A and B are shown apart, each in its own frame.
Chain A
Amino acid sequence: MTALTQPRFLSRVQSRVPSRFLPVIATFVVFVLTFGAGAVRYEGFASGQVIANLFIDNAFLIVLAVGMTFVILTGGIDLSVGAVVALSTMIAAATLEAGWPAWLAVLAVLASGSTLGLGMGLMIHKLRVQPFIATLAGMFLARGLCFVISIDSISIKDPAFRTIATETVMLPGKVAITYSVLIALAVVAVAAYVLHLTRFGRTVYAVGGSESSARLMGLATGRVTVGVYVISGFCSALAGLLFSFYMLSGYGLHAVGMELDAIAAVVVGGTLLAGGMGYVGGSVVGVLVLGTVQTIISFEGTLSSWWTRIVIGVLLLAFIALQRLILYRQRDL
């Protein structure tokens, strides 16, 4: 029945790969296509360094998207991530300026991000405040706290931070990457391990599939609901550190609207917003797609930056439509 109503190529693809992989494959195809388009159009686009730069310029967004993936997999949303990134750059800059050693500043940033996440998670789980509102409050709080610390931008002069920010690692083929990229990739690896090979990860998917069923099965839904927001808070703080390596300053207006980029990357990466389906790998490719669009627009030179937003909007739309298609088919099966 369904095979008849579908276009032929879809059913052929479906016979080989499970439909849950389709969105990620589609994202990857879009990435290859956009990158290919850039490579055909511009000389020197298809070089190892351009790919490495995609990672270097978007390391913080990758970490952010990983945390957001956890939250969205449970069917929630975290609007506070951009503000927490800004707060992290601010805390790092302010503590370093006050003469704290670098490791203590890093710990302070990670602890405050996780604590903020814990607070939002508890509000959502214990008090049943909707994720949208609870994290909106978190967003306001984090942005406001930035300005409580200082209204002006604070530059980071700490030698340890400067070293990490500017040192590069040479890969074979004369491709240089920064330590931030290594940190981001490590986060992705840990996240993939947690999601697929631990009890916590399986519960994340179960809660996203149906929270009441998961609870009736005796799974620790409460711990997971709070846990994903702590993870997201931690990832935002870490992304904030990477962002402060990138900018070498702390400022309350850093990362404005970055939560939208993170959500867009996750959606483009094929994670279902209703929860229960998606992969961190997809989110990483999602970030790369957004990064490629930005790179192409900067290569083009004549196109203005606002085209980035329009293209991201169109991409979002295309992937939402794809998700609807997959959901309809699952209902049919």
Chain B
Amino acid sequence: MTRTRLLWPALALVALLLLNLIVEPSFFELRLQDGHLFGSLVDILRNGAPTLLIALGMTLVIATRGIDLSVGAVAAIAGAVTCTYIASTGDALTAMALALGVCVVLGLWNGFLVAVLGIQPIIATLVLMTAGRGIAMLLTEGQIVTVDNPLFRQVGAGFLFLPIAILISLAALVAVALVTRRTALGMLIESVGVNPEASRLAGVRSRTIIWTVYVFAALCSGVAGLMISSNVSAADANSAGLWIEMDAILAVVIGGTLLTGGRYSLTGTLLGALTIQTLTTTVYTIGVPPEVTLVFKAGVVIIVCLLQAPRVAPALTRAPQPRQVEEAMAR
């Protein structure tokens, strides 16, 4: 099953890249300049870094059968905190640490609503999604705060042979893969996703695990928010990270992680995030107005969902699905 799940997003990615190659033969060209790698592929990686990082946190949240809608708002808050602090003191390191600290608190808040009060994740995080941008506006007083700090600029726009942003995202991905797949943590997260109550009775600390994944998701969003605002050297509370929660959820779903929880694929999320970014780039390459990207995104979601849909997937893979068994029994 895992292999077929990864097959479709991988095929979609390859198809998109090939389309680009046909339209723009120089698409795969890479050049080295001042020790930095440049080219369309590098651009895809760099622009996709925030989405990938947020999708990474989202994957773990979704694996516990949750969802986090507040990631975009959290990213905006992180940018707002950092930029206002830098604007007043000029200390980038403290500013970023402060922003990430705030994000951890926001993650704790989401986790508290979901794990302790038992509120549906979609609604619990909707609260912060609605209020979060208001808080970010409050911090920046409705202005776009611009900063000029060389250290802060490195996070989103810097190069260390490859763009620093993508290095951060990939490092986080590898770290999560090691921590969850080389230890039992990944399995515990999946078991909470299958049935939190049964997991608790089996001795898994469901509540702590759920709490942890929300904090981790908020932290990822915070770092992504730093990348976004660092890239433009400004905090825009209104539009920083707007709709990025949808892109991140999309990346996770395209990657074959089911929203019903209980199973997740980090490789899938990587493929999903890259597919979405490549799609956006493709639309630019073939000269369609960028706003129309949304139609293509809808097309990709619908196709991938149809391929993975419980009613369609069996016809392609011939594996029995629990839903069908359940329905057969119901009849």
Check: B120 CB closer than 8 A to any chain A CB: yes
In the complex the two chains form, what is the Cα distance from A169 to B126 in whole Å?
38
In the complex the two chains form, what is the Cα distance from A143 to B295 in whole Å?
8
The interface bits of chain A over 130-150 (1 if a CB of B lies within 8 angstroms of the residue's CB, else 0) are 101110111111011111100
Residue of B nearest to A148 (CB): B292
Check: A33 CB closer than 8 A to any chain B CB: no
> Given the interface contacts A137-B302, A151-B291, A273-B120, does A306 sit within 8 Å of B297 by beta carbon?
no
Chain A binder among B10-18, B135-143, B173-181: B135-143
In the complex the two chains form, what is the Cα distance from A148 to B249 in whole Å?
24
Contact A141–B142 (Cβ < 8 Å): no
The interface bits of chain B over 269-299 (1 if a CB of A lies within 8 angstroms of the residue's CB, else 0) are 0000000000000000000010111111111
Contact B294–A128 (Cβ < 8 Å): no
Residue of B nearest to A307 (CB): B134
> Given the interface contacts A312-B130, A313-B130, does A306 sit within 8 Å of B137 by beta carbon?
yes
Contact B330–A215 (Cβ < 8 Å): yes
Q: How many residues of A contact B (CB 8 A)?
A: 47
Check: A310 CB closer than 8 A to any chain B CB: yes
In the complex the two chains form, what is the Cα distance from A328 to B261 in whole Å?
25
Check: B124 CB closer than 8 A to any chain A CB: yes
Contact B305–A129 (Cβ < 8 Å): yes
Chain B interface SS verdict (over half)? helix
Check: B118 CB closer than 8 A to any chain A CB: yes
Residues of B within 8 A of A310 (CB): 131, 134-135, 138
Residues of B within 8 A of A126 (CB): 311
Distance (Å) between the CB of A82 and the closest chain B CB?
12
Check: B310 CB closer than 8 A to any chain A CB: yes
In the complex the two chains form, what is the Cα distance from A264 to B69 in whole Å?
14
Contact B67–A128 (Cβ < 8 Å): no
The interface bits of chain B over 301-321 (1 if a CB of A lies within 8 angstroms of the residue's CB, else 0) are 110011001111000000000
Contact A147–B312 (Cβ < 8 Å): no
Distance (Å) between the CB of A140 and the closest chain B CB?
4
Distance (Å) between the CB of A106 and the closest chain B CB?
24
The interface bits of chain A over 207-237 (1 if a CB of B lies within 8 angstroms of the residue's CB, else 0) are 0000010011000000000000000000000
Known contacts A140-B301, A141-B294; 6 additional CB pairs below 8 A are A126-B311, A127-B312, A140-B246, A260-B126, A273-B120, A309-B134
- 24 residue pairs of the A-B complex, CB under 8 angstroms, read A123-B305, A128-B310, A133-B259, A136-B249, A140-B246, A141-B298, A144-B291, A144-B292, A146-B291, A147-B289, A147-B292, A252-B291, A263-B126, A264-B130, A274-B120, A306-B133, A307-B138, A309-B131, A309-B137, A312-B131, A313-B128, A313-B130, A313-B131, A324-B117
Residues of B within 8 A of A273 (CB): 120, 122-123
Check: A321 CB closer than 8 A to any chain B CB: yes
In the complex the two chains form, what is the Cα distance from A132 to B68 in whole Å?
12
Check: B119 CB closer than 8 A to any chain A CB: yes
Check: A77 CB closer than 8 A to any chain B CB: yes
Out of B67, B129, B259, B301, name the residue touching A260 (CB < 8 Å): B129
